[in-house]
Chains A and B, each alone.
Chain A
Amino acid sequence: MLNSSLIFPYDMSDISILLHKNKFDCEIDYVLSLLSWGFCSKDAGYIFGVRTEKTVKDEKNFDSILEKVDTVILLNGTLCFDEVEFFLYAIKSIEKRKNLICLRKIDEKYIEILKCASKFYGVKFIYDWQHNMPCEISSNYKLISPKIPVIGIKGVAQNTGKFETLLSLKESFEKIGYSPLCISGKLYGEFFGINSYPMFMLDDKISVQNKILKLNYYINELCYSDNFDLILFEVPGGLYPVNDKVYENFSFQNFLVSNAISFDLSVINLLYENYDLNYFEWLKVNLKNKYSYNVFAYIISNNKINWDSIPTERKASYITIGSEYIKNWINTSEVPYNMCSVFDKEMFEKLAEELIAYLSDENSFDAI
């Protein structure tokens, strides 16, 4: 584990690092953001209505806090932050002899400079995230099902809290003694002991068929590398477009993954809306027909599409809703499906138990 660190520039998309900090492979002491973004001087979980016990400080404190830490973690974030400025913060950190973990893809020329500088100042510079096992496969490779149950975590769209769901389920399973193999598209998943979604899945030069076969191989190889009890697989991208004008990276990765591997069960992350039963039923049938997904539970995120902004922005923007509201909506909903609020640990613990109960029951009838 690395020593004390600061994370910067913080926005709410990185809240999981703070909510699961005991599982994160680095001690986080300080959270810094940019004054313009509106998070400063509040608890980092304020907008979601959750507590992280970390008050966000603004960028003017960067230099003074830098003196107190060993490591700087530069985050990707979803808000605008100029690449040159980002680089200047990175080089300043190295010059002050701090280890640097860079979680944003930046231009190669900056990477080269940072590599040289880190060597010169004798500090660690962690940037290369893809540690996937090589998986060259021969032409006679066949698709095989993993030996353990596979639970998929999929989102109807982007920003539905899939990574937070993965971490909460992982923790809940571990708490009751199970060892899950986890796969996620999140860049810093490895800090939580989570395997990366392989880079070849996003490589345009690899054919669709090869991606499917390689992914199948990759999962089985991970699966046989240790004694796991089940697989938790967070699939990148969304399942559906937001509407007929806003698409947000939908469907293709789910198409590939659903062909590479059979999921025993799926939990589906949703953006918040005041849904009625018809929607959940439609979703269940459609996901079964489209991707062969068996829906076991719905996870309600704290983001709601800001429909008012779509005509002007031509992309999805969101309204963040407080966790108490989401929890209350779930508790008063008459929908007869398993549902969790994305930030509610107790709900996830219960869900993990129900998943195990269902899978155990199902496995007891397995033909051999």
Chain B
Amino acid sequence: MSYPFIVLFKTYKKQYVYDVNTNTILQISSLLWKELKAKQEDESYQYTLAAEKEFHELKKRGFFLENRWKTVRHPATDVLPYQLNNALSSVVLQVTQICNLNCSYCPFARGNYYSRKHSQKQMSFEIAKKAIDFMVDNAINSNTLAVGFYGGEPLINFELVKSVVEYISLHYPHKKFSYFMTTNATLLDEKKIGFLSKHEFSITISLDGPREIHDRNRQSFSKESSFDKIMKALKLIKEKFPEFHKNIIFNCVIDPNASFDCFHSFFTSYEDINDYMCRFSNISTANLKSDDVTVSDDYLTRYNFEIFKSILSRIGKIEKDAVSPIVSSYMTDLLEVMLEKRHYGRLGDVGHPGGPCIPGGRKIFVNVDGDIFPCEKINELSENMKIGNVYSGFSMDKCLNLLNIATLTEAECKQCWASRLCYLCCLFCEKNGELSRSQRLSNCKMVRQHLIEYFKIYACLMEHGYDKNADWFNSYIAE
């Protein structure tokens, strides 16, 4: 018997396999688990009769197949031109590369990253207009379009933001548009807030915690406290535009050298911000020149403890409110991977690892020069990431290349048990402007570790009676 396409893992209580061909997690006997492990380590190992019986029983039910993809090819490859020509739905405009802050981990600032630097470039109205026309021309299938404003700091070029919104209102009155902006909020004043509120912008404000942490990482050139400016803007919103407050969320980039409790108490009890939504993210390590992002022991211990509490809350042992919001996205992501993205269905002959967004599928990012990129996170200096220009249109070859990014590592992906749940997009494959096979492979260990962690937590949840429908139903009732 040859070895099936599976990976073994176990929890404190039980033994499992993840069966790649069916995308299923199966609980198996400890005997079979041990023998599969032995077989994995020594090909000549002979199964006992009892293990062989269980093995064949599973095989009879369609599990434990050895099939692999014969070809790595993304399923959206053939229809990509139609998606790009007919179904664009969102454009993010880099209205300026200038920023009034000099944040320690910003991809643009301080030269910490290979990918980009702040410059004095601003987007012209001509380019912004062309970007909007380009999106509308390629959005026949989309009823609602979204326009995002990104920087640098987009409020520095606020006149352009206004012009774009006015242009859209005037030229495209019969298409629904929504607007969003990512800002450090330090330049918000009553006039700007009034405009953003009138046009129902969704605003993401970067806020990294209490004053000492925020100001340490988000320094202004003038050394003034950027934290105080944000608080001033929030006060203004509360007083003059109370309805607008629901359109604001915070994005907190966690400084792993800081104390976990410090973040937690700030975001749960600081009076001016505790009724806003907040999203927490870690410092991006993609394209970072040095790998000195270290996490303090205190932070890691508390973070893991909060994840443990979040497991307890999911199985009804503690209240949801007792879990820090800092880890809330962890469990949401885990359940999304395990329940939504883990589609059941046979592995076909042709497929592609998970990971790449369809270029243009969710959004396009247009930089100050009018060049198009798949999103705002990628390296604008890389020619490989430039998938077109608002004047010349999409470069279909480059779009297809990014969509089929796993062809870089085709041989490895075909044999990898994690392929179907992989999340490595082109962002993880690029170094110094080049799409690199070795760069992609350098992330594989992390993906596999991450998935095994997810498998174990998910299995643990199920062992303790987690009911996804009850979870959904209770939140539905609560709403």
Contact = CB atoms under 8 A, between A and B. Distances in A.
Interface of A: 9, 12, 34-39, 47, 79-81, 274, 276, 304, 306, 308-309, 313, 317-322, 325
Given A38-B137, A308-B358, A321 B174 contact: no
Nearest to A12: B140
Contacts of B78: 274, 325
A242 to B, nearest CB: 15
- Which residue among B75, B87, B171 has the maximum number of chain A CB atoms within 10 Å of its CB? B87
Contacts of B89: 309
Nearest to A304: B79
B475 to A, nearest CB: 14
27 contacts: A9-B174, A12-B140, A34-B174, A35-B171, A36-B136, A36-B171, A36-B172, A37-B140, A37-B175, A38-B139, A79-B175, A80-B176, A274-B78, A276-B348, A304-B82, A306-B83, A306-B87, A306-B141, A317-B87, A317-B141, A317-B142, A318-B87, A319-B87, A319-B141, A320-B82, A320-B86, A320-B141
Contacts of A12: 140
A38 to B, nearest CB: 4
Given A36-B175, A80-B176, A313-B144, A319 B139 contact: no
B140 A36 contact: no
Given A80-B143, A320-B141, A36 B174 contact: yes
- Which residue among B75, B82, B136, B138 has the maximum number of chain A CB atoms within 10 Å of its CB? B82
B358 A79 contact: no
Contact of B174 (A81, A304, A313, A320): A81
Contacts of A80: 143, 174-176
- Which residue among B78, B79, B176, B348 has the maximum number of chain A CB atoms within 10 Å of its CB? B79
Given A317-B143, A319-B82, A36 B137 contact: no
Interface string B336-358: 00000000000010000000011
A320 B79 CA distance: 9
A322 B141 CA distance: 13
Contacts of B144: 313
The interface size bin for chain B is: 20 to 34
B316 interface: no
B224 to A, nearest CB: 38
B361 interface: yes
A37 B138 CA distance: 10
A320 B175 contact: no
B140 A38 contact: yes
Given A79-B174, A79-B175, A81-B174, 15 more contacts: A36-B136, A36-B171, A36-B175, A37-B140, A37-B175, A39-B140, A80-B176, A274-B75, A274-B78, A304-B79, A313-B144, A319-B79, A319-B87, A321-B82, A322-B82
Contacts of A79: 143, 174-175
A320 B172 CA distance: 21
Nearest to B173: A36
B362 interface: yes
A9 B174 CA distance: 11
Contacts of A309: 87, 89, 142
B78 to A, nearest CB: 7
A276 B350 CA distance: 12
A80 B174 CA distance: 6
Given A81-B174, A308-B361, A319-B82, A47 B140 contact: yes
B362 A318 contact: no
Contacts of B86: 47, 319-320
A36 B175 CA distance: 6
A341 to B, nearest CB: 15
- Which residue among B141, B176, B348 has the maximum number of chain A CB atoms within 10 Å of its CB? B141
A322 B176 CA distance: 25
Interface string B156-173: 000000000000000111
Nearest to A39: B140
Nearest to B357: A308
Contacts of A276: 348
B339 to A, nearest CB: 11
Contacts of A308: 357-358, 361-362
Contacts of B75: 274
Contacts of A325: 78-79, 82
A319 B82 CA distance: 7
B8 to A, nearest CB: 29
- Which residue among B78, B138, B174 has the maximum number of chain A CB atoms within 10 Å of its CB? B174
A9 B143 CA distance: 15
Nearest to A59: B174
Interface in B45-93: 75, 78-79, 82-83, 86-87, 89
Nearest to B139: A38
A301 to B, nearest CB: 13
A308 B359 CA distance: 11
Nearest to A79: B143
Nearest to A81: B174
A2 B107 CA distance: 65
Contacts of B175: 36-37, 79-80
B37 to A, nearest CB: 34
Contacts of A313: 143-144
A318 B142 CA distance: 8
A321 B140 contact: no
A306 B362 CA distance: 10
A318 B82 contact: no
Contacts of B348: 276
Nearest to B136: A38
Nearest to B142: A317
Given A36-B175, A325-B82, A320 B358 contact: no
A304 B141 CA distance: 10
- Which residue among A36, A321, A325 has the maximum number of chain B CB atoms within 10 Å of its CB? A36
